[in-house]
Amino acid sequence: MAGLRKLDDYRWEIPVDYKPGMRVPGLVYLSEEMLEAARQDEALEQVANVAFLPGIVGRSLAMPDIHWGYGFPIGGVAATRVSDGVISPGGVGYDINCGVRLLRSDLLESEVAPRMVAIIDRLFRNVPSGVGSEGRLRPPKGEIPRLLVEGARWAVRRGFGTAEDLEATEDGGCVQGADPSAVSERALTRGLPQAGSLGSGNHFIEIQAVREIYDEDAAAVMGIDSIGQVLVLIHTGSRGLGHQVCTDHLKAMERAVIKYGITLPDRQLACAPIESPEGRQYLAAMRCAANYAWCNRQHIAHWVRESFMEVFGLPPDRLGLRQVYDVAHNIAKVETHKVDGRDIQVCVHRKGATRAFPPGHPALAERFRPIGQPVLIPGDMGRYSYIAVGTELAMKDTFGSTCHGAGRLLSRAAARKAARGADVAESLRSRSITVRTDDVPALAEEAPGAYKDVASVVDVVVGAGICRKVARAEPLGVIKG
């Protein structure tokens, strides 16, 4: 890409005149070492394309886990003015509210490791996973609108979890403004049978042990207090319901682009003014899908707790499986941010990026206000994941956003060429990581070598000041969906 300008050790600017039609510059968070990999595909071009969106403010942003997506790059963040800007379903993606939830426990690695096979097997039985997996939830027809409006609250009301879980979930696990009438019958037909399932691809449940604590005060607020403490990380989203909501509304947006005279460099960026009927309908449906995803993770967390109780024969208070936090990393949110010195309402699209609000932010539950929003950054299944917190600089520079994971390095085909799934499983086993999946060959696609080293990604966001490290955990056992 011509004209890419280094601002400092962590930030590169794509000038606004890189392509006619860009409304703002692009800004990519990368180290010098990561830049060459990012130049290999279309990801940087996609950052420039996002800058075409009407009403975009600040810059078209990309986090260091950037990789080539469709429309937006994965790792992309864009804020558009609510008053005259657009919303783009491509800026959220098909897996609406794909996200991660972290549970902490009172168990130590030394207690869990000898029973790892039993616990992984039990989780595998209790949480439906894999291609086309059908869920354990069969919501009565009359309850479906409530599920879509209330999200995780609906699950908690029915005995799946606690009020404390909701407090430790972005938006309390229930984003406001969901309207079930905006969700098509097809989305319900496709998605409801999958409610209460993990899915496949890069979705997983991972049992981890804390290896390092960088900020003891923040960790203590999250219930993380010792090396070797066992955690459980759950990664999944809105399954077929979210996929169909995106498909349905993108089709409508294709026509809206013509109706509102919007010029775009990529059809996958199709969008409509936020305040238009098409924009409002999409937002209302997207919020239903987001709530469905929170409901899904709420149930899965419950089954994780049950699985541990069954295997260890311990009551919940001895296991201490309490929720650290739950974040969405594919979502669009209406938020207030300072732009050109004024507080305005913007729609922040985070496509493979995590909200990272600073200490004191009113959107956070009282107990997180002293430390900022917990940020969960999964790595690959062979190395480590990070727990971090949001910062003031993130609020100022990235609309309160940071990275969401490691980011792919190899295509799926290249990953399958590089290693066989059985060899990946064996390599993990040799490092005392138990892995369970229905699809061993597909493990190759999720092999550690297929991803960037998440430590290098975290170094960039921490170096740039858009989050702070709290702890690092390593995998002990993995269920790959």
67, 249, 329, 404: the catalytic one is 404
Task: Give the integer Cα–Cα distance in Å for 214 and 387.
Answer: 10
Give the nearer residue to other proteins in terms of CB position, either 215 or 248.
248
Query: Cβ of residue 411: shortest distance to other proteins, in angstroms?
Result: 5
In this complex, which beta carbon is closest to other proteins, that of residue 70 or of residue 260? 70
Chain-centroid distance, C-alpha 98:
5
Burial class (CB in 10 A: 0-12, 13-18, 19+), 429: exposed
**Closest CB to other proteins among 450 and 473?**
450
Provide the 8-state DSSP code for 402.
Answer: E
Closest separation between CB of residue 409 and other proteins, Å?
A: 8
Q: Using the 8-state DSSP alphabet, how is residue 441 labeled?
A: G
CA 320 to CA 112: how far, in whole Å? Answer: 14
Least spacing, CB of residue 130 vs other proteins, in Å = 9
Q: Specify the residue for token string 């995998």.
A: 475
* Residues pairing with 57 in the sheet: 79
Least CB distance from residue 254 to other proteins, whole Å?
Answer: 5
Q: How many residues does the chain have?
A: 481
Least distance in Å: CB of 359 to other proteins?
33
**What CA–CA distance (Å, rounded) separates 317 from 447?**
36
**Catalytic residue status for 67:** no
Rounded to the nearest 10°, the torsion over CA 81, 82, 83, 87 is 90
| CB-count exposure of residue 225 (10 Å: 0-12, 13-18, 19+) | middle
Q: Is 407 left (phi over 0), alpha (psi -120 to 50) or beta?
A: left
Question: If 0-12 CB within 10 Å is exposed, 13-18 middle and 19+ buried, where does residue 117 land?
Answer: exposed
CA distances from 33 to 6, 29, 46, 82, 460 (A): 13, 12, 20, 37, 11
For residue 374, the cross-strand partners are 389
Q: Which residues pair with 477 in a beta bridge?
A: 207, 434
Name the H helices within 196-238. Answer: 216-221
Judged by the rule CB under 8 A, the positions of this chain that interact with other proteins are: 41, 43, 67-71, 74, 90, 93-95, 131-132, 186, 189-190, 199-201, 240, 243-244, 246-247, 250-251, 254-255, 258, 266-268, 270, 408-414, 439, 442
Cα distance between residue 164 and residue 17, in whole Å:
49
In whole angstroms, the minimum distance from the beta carbon of 258 to other proteins comes to 8
Phi, psi (5° rounding) for residue 284?
Answer: -65, -40
Q: Which is nearer to other proteins, 225 or 266 (CB)?
A: 266
Nearer to other proteins, 240 or 372 (CB): 240
Smallest gap from Cβ 71 to other proteins, in A, equals: 6
**The token pair that represents 208 in the structure block:** 């981890």
Q: Which is nearer to other proteins, 172 or 405 (CB)?
A: 405
Q: Report, as residue numbers or ranges, the catalytic residues.
A: 404
